[in-house]
Amino acid sequence: MTDPDSDPRSAPTDFGHVPVLLDRCVELLTPALTRHHPDGSGAVLVDATLGAGGHAERFLATLPGLRLIGLDRDPSALEIARGRLVRFGDRVTLVHTRYDGLALALAESGCTASESVDGVLFDLGVSSMQLDQAERGFAYAKDAPLDMRMDPSSPLTAADIVNTYDARALADILQRYGEERFARRIAEQIVRRRARAPFTSTADLVALLYEAIPAPARRTGGHPAKRTFQALRIAVNDELGSLRDAIPAALDALAVGGRIVVLAYQSLEDRIVKRAFADAVASRTPPELPVELPGHEPRFRSLTHGAERADATEVESNPRSAPVRLRALQRVGTGER
């Protein structure tokens, strides 16, 4: 699981974020982006999680004909990326949206929702810049308003959840999204405490978690706030629902020969990607038939064996790459494998 407070994405670097598995992403996506022309002319890459634009910049710089459509739900990330990518002029289109709004973003950018792009990249989770902005409430080590919204214009904050959901709904969130053993106990204590005064800051919640989690578990289970903060962040931003809808939309958007790469940093997201990809590479011919039915062949082939990890050198220089799981697919035409 990603742990914001021990996450080196918060280390200051150029533009505040070091792109993970950058060379591997380039290696996997370039064949799809150069199949019309070696300089990328005629190809469209969607960066569904633009962030600071580190991955995007590399693709635009190495492929001078490439067009990039960059999405992010966080307007401040889009502003940083806009400045970084300004030199590429009209080859770049930026769209403020959740990635499950991909089809609409493509339509606004002059592409169709189906078979119109050559590459899609997802680099999931939060960026170093988001963690560094203490006032956004992602990090339990920094006292801040209990917010955690990736898009500050979206309606639901972490404080809304903590102060209004009933104990059962709270426990469900902590258990499902944080895999927190003490979910029920924490939820009950939250409900008792907020009857006296609502939670307003991350420090309020961290103090309660220190009380709610028994001392022996606190000594062995990592920081007591780690799992609860992850769970709230996932719930506030509907991270899993958004990904569940976005992956099929991204697969539909790929033209034959197009490729998709996804980098996931926690098991719940990686599980969604793994399942969607397994479905995409499966034949739709009923298993009892001896031959493949025309039109029922797999639409995709896998480019990775299971999930790929960062090597020791990258993890040492950028520890934020330690939990990454990379998976990639290629869209195939009828009769291809």
Contact footprint for ligand SAM (CB under 6 A): 17, 19, 49, 51-55, 71-74, 77, 98-99, 123, 125, 127, 150, 242
CA geometry: angle at 75 spanning 109 and 125, to 5°?
A: 95
Smallest distance, ligand SAM to C-beta of residue 267, A: 17
Structure tokens at 210: 């220190």
136 versus 299: smaller Cβ distance to ligand SAM = 136
H runs (alpha helix) in the chain:
22-33, 54-62, 75-85, 102-108, 128-132, 158-164, 167-178, 183-196, 202-212, 215-220, 226-236, 239-253, 267-280, 312-317
98 versus 259: smaller Cβ distance to ligand SAM = 98
74 versus 204: smaller Cβ distance to ligand SAM = 74
Smallest distance, ligand SAM to C-beta of residue 287, A: 35
Q: Is 137 annotated as a binding residue?
A: no
Smallest distance, ligand SAM to C-beta of residue 234, A: 10
Helix 226-236 and helix 202-212: axis angle, to 10°?
A: 130
45 versus 186: smaller Cβ distance to ligand SAM = 45
Q: Which residues are CB-contacts of 68 (< 8 A; sequence separation ≥ 6)?
A: 44, 45, 46, 47, 56, 59, 60, 85, 88, 91, 92, 93
Structure tokens at 217: 């578990």
Q: Is 165 annotated as a binding residue?
A: no
Q: Is 305 annotated as a binding residue?
A: no
208 versus 326: smaller Cβ distance to ligand SAM = 326
Q: Is 54 annotated as a binding residue?
A: yes
Check if the beta carbon of residue 254 is closer than 8 Å to that of residue 28: no
Q: Is 172 annotated as a binding residue?
A: no
Known binding-site residue numbers: 53-55, 72, 99, 123, 130
Known binding-site residue numbers for S-adenosyl-L-methionine: 53-55, 72, 99, 123, 130
